[in-house]
């Protein structure tokens, strides 16, 4: 016989009441969220009261638990990101539980704001601005970045775009991946490095444009020229 959800709620609340206080885990994985999901569930139930009408049995609860935990793990969410998602959830004017995909998007969006990071939309806007204005500056470091983190993300996006001939959608996916990696770095206490202007190498073969300097094929040609020069000098 399926256990009524009222008993499930009671069991969850009882478990939380008697669970000793401890530091929140910093890892990720199924076991990590198995330990934490009851708390997440009770928060969601408080925010979206209609859950009591849609999840009525132990079987339905277990099914939701498996689905959400799997999605959290597949997306590599940290508990801090889930907390950020709950903050956004509390701002929604609805009693109905969102899909796990929607909640994950809230979690990522909220964690960017929590850590002072830009959104994917803001990154892509700066990426396009840099691509259109970069020739006005002698180096990427001199571009007027809106945030220091933009330099590291956008230049990485451009490098990957050129190397792999990426579409706008692929660049956008890379931007989201990069932001998620920075969330994890900052969560570990790492800092955003300063932007330092590179000292120009006067002996290097010149580029006609920064596009040429960036392009891997041009880099290979320049390396061959440098190798030829060294060979000639040694001879």
Instruction: Tell me, yes or no, whether 170 lies in a domain.
Output: yes
pLDDT at residue 187, rounded to an integer: 87
Number of folded domains in the chain? 2
Sign of CA dihedral 53, 59, 61, 66: negative
Look at residues 96, 114, 132 and tell me which one is the last residue of a structural domain. 114
Residue 213 belongs to a domain: no
Residue 204's pLDDT is what?
Answer: 44
Residue-number span of the structural domain to which 154 is assigned = 120-196
Phi, psi of 65, rounded to the nearest 5 degrees: -60, -45
- DSSP per residue, 139-191: SGGGS--SSHHHHHHHHHHHHHHHHHT--HHHHHHHHHHHHHHHHHHHHTT--
Q: Do 30 and 91 belong together in one domain? A: yes
Q: Tell me the per-residue pLDDT of 49-68, one tens digit each, with 9 for 90 and over.
A: 999 898 989 999 999 999 99
Contact call for residues 69 and 96 (beta carbons, < 8 A): no
Is residue 235 in some structural domain?
no
35 contacts: CB under 8 Å, gap ≥ 6: 25
Tell me what percent of the residues of the chain surpass a pLDDT of 90: 60
What are the average pLDDT values for consecutive 10-residue runs of the chain, which has 235 residues? 52 42 47 87 95 91 94 90 94 95 94 91 97 95 96 97 95 95 92 80 46 59 67 61
Q: What was the pLDDT predicted at 208?
A: 46
CA distance 218 to 216: 5
Structural domain contains residue 225: no
Contact 100, 71 (CB under 8 A): yes
Q: Is residue 208 part of a domain?
A: no
Let me know whether 129 and 105 are in one domain: no
Which of 82, 114, 146 is at the close of a domain? 114
Looking at 58, 81, 114, the residue that finishes a domain is: 114
Distance between CA atoms of residues 189 and 193, nearest Å? 12
- Regarding whether 42 and 75 lie in a shared domain, the answer is yes
Residues 125 and 189 in one domain: yes
Q: Which pTM value belongs to this model?
A: 0.63
> Is-contact 145 195, C-beta < 8 A?
yes
Q: Which pLDDT does position 215 carry in this prediction? A: 59
């Amino acid at each position: 016989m399926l256990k009524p959800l009222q008993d499930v709620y009671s069991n969850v609340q009882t478990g939380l009441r008697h669970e000793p206080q401890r530091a929140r885990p910093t890892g990720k994985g199924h076991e990590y969220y198995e330990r934490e999901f009851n708390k997440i569930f009770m928060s969601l139930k408080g925010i979206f009261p209609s859950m009591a009408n849609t999840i009525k049995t132990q079987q339905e609860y277990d099914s939701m638990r498996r689905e959400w935990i799997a999605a959290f793990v597949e997306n590599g969410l940290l508990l801090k990101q889930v907390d950020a998602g709950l903050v956004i959830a509390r701002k929604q004017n609805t009693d109905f539980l969102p899909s796990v995909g929607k909640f994950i998007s809230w979690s990522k969006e909220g964690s960017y704001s929590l850590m002072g990071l830009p959104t994917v939309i803001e990154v892509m806007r700066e990426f396009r601005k840099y691509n259109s204005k970069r020739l006005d500056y002698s180096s990427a470091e001199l571009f007027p970045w809106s945030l220091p983190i933009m330099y590291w993300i956008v230049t990485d996006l451009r490098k990957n775009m050129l190397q792999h001939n990426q579409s706008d959608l692929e660049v956008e996916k890379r931007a989201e991946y990069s932001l998620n990696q920075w969330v994890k770095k900052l969560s570990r206490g790492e800092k955003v490095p300063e932007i330092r202007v590179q000292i120009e190498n006067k002996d290097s073969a010149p580029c006609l444009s920064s596009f040429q300097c960036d392009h891997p094929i041009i880099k290979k040609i320049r390396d061959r020229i440098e190798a030829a020069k060294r060979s000639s000098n040694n001879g």
